[in-house]
């Protein structure tokens, strides 16, 4: 009976030096292969069992939000490409770059997310289920604390992408999610993260953002529904600060609406559909979002 193949999902992360420009955002197939070989070597030093498994790497720069999307579509496409690659499975190192036709549409980095200081190259390790269970556990244990890339790996990435690299390291997707949760906390977006986490890790469950004065939102069935309130419903529902005069109340409502748009934009960047449901005064907006 043929063994089932599974994958451990991760990324080669490069943190750019402040103010650094980037040359190409996608490497050639030759450069992709060279970088993948060094990444595979670095991983095998930390997790020796990984050397017997296939490693695939997309040699293109992505923002964290492009990797942390429901169903992990970038990694799903990478897994499909590794499975179809020629050669006997087990120990292959495959770097995917862009030839004359460029990367397939599903793998093209989004230009609107190309300005962040943390750039990620999706990678995965693929093999039979028993081996992946061992390697996956080891990667989760090792990479966050000890996953720094070799100096020659970082240098090759710096030269290939014509940029300045501050740090280069290996991460699992769980490591990346933990980093993003911390970044969102520092950016004042901590209340939003449970919605993202539910979409990534528990898509069949329900999750609420119900913490006034934050906007009200509910994740269920693969989408987030946000309560669209007019000023009367906003004040009535307990989202408005107490004791404000009319002018300051109006400004607070404007800020509330800006916050709604910010939340919708972040969720959209993670590939999570957002719907605004009008919730009139006199009706509990939670009932509207459940309907």
- For 60, counting Cβ atoms within 10 Å of its Cβ (0-12 exposed, 13-18 middle, 19+ buried), the class is buried
Would you state the pLDDT for residue 1? 40
What are the tokens at 93?
Answer: 């190192």
Would you state the pLDDT for residue 99? 81
β-pair type (93-96, 5-16): unpaired
Would you state the pLDDT for residue 104? 80
Which residues in the chain land under pLDDT 50?
1-2
Kindly report the pTM of this predicted structure.
0.94
Q: Cα 97 from chain centroid? A: 20
Backbone angles phi, psi at 95, to 5 degrees: -105, 130
Beta bridge partners of 56: 94, 124
Question: What residues contact residue 101 under an 8 Å CB cut-off, 6+ apart?
Answer: none
Dump the DSSP string for the chain.
-PPPEEEEEEEEEEEEPTT---S-SB--HHHHHHHHHHHHHHHHHH-GGGGGSEEEEE-B-B-HHHHSSTT-HHHHHHHHHHHHSSS-SSS-EEEE---TT-S-GGGPPPGGGTT-SEEEEEEEEEEEHHHHHHHHHHHHHHHHHH-BPPHHHHHHHHHHTTS-EEEEEEEEHHHHHHHHHHHHHHTT-GGGHHHHHHHHH-TTS-EEE--TTSPPEEEETTEEEEEEE-HHHHHHTT-SPTT--HHHHHHHHHHHHHHHHHHHHHHHHTT--EEEEEE-TTS-HHHHHH-
What is d(CA 84, CA 69) in angstroms, rounded to the nearest whole number? 23
**Degrees, nearest 5: CA angle 143-113-207:** 70
| Half-sphere exposure of residue 252: CA atoms within 13 angstroms, side-chain side | 20
Tell me if 29 sits within 8 A of 99, measured CB to CB. Answer: yes
β-pair type (217-220, 223-229): antiparallel
Would you state the pLDDT for residue 253? 94
Would you state the pLDDT for residue 3? 60
């Amino acid at each position: 009976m043929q063994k089932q193949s599974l994958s451990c999902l991760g990324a080669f992360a490069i943190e750019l030096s402040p103010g650094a420009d980037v040359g190409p955002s996608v490497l050639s197939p030759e450069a992709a292969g060279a970088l993948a070989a060094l990444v595979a070597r670095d991983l095998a030093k930390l997790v020796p069992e990984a050397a017997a498994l296939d490693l695939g790497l997309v040699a293109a720069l992505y923002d964290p939000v492009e990797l942390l999307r429901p169903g992990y579509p970038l990694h799903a496409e990478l897994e499909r490409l590794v499975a179809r690659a020629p050669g006997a499975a087990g120990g292959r190192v495959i770097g995917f770059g862009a030839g004359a036709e460029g990367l397939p549409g599903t793998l093209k980095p989004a230009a609107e997310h190309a300005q962040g200081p943390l750039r990620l190259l999706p990678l995965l390790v693929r093999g039979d289920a028993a081996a992946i269970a061992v390697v996956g556990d080891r990667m989760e244990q090792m990479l966050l604390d000890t996953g720094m890339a070799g100096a020659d790996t970082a240098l090759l990435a710096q030269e290939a992408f014509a940029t300045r690299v501050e740090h280069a390291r290996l991460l699992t997707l769980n490591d990346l999610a933990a980093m993003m949760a911390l970044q969102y906390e520092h950016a004042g977006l901590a209340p939003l993260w449970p919605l993202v986490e539910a979409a990534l890790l528990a898509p069949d469950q329900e999750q609420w953002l119900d913490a006034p004065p934050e906007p009200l939102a509910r994740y269920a069935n693969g989408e987030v529904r946000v309560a669209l309130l007019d000023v009367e419903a906003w004040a009535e529902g307990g989202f408005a600060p107490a004791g404000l005069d009319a002018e300051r109340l109006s400004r607070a409502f404007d800020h509330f609406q800006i916050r709604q748009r910010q939340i919708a934009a972040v969720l959209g960047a993670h590939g999570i559909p957002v719907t605004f449901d009008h919730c009139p005064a006199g009706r509990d907006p939670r009932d509207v979002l459940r309907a």
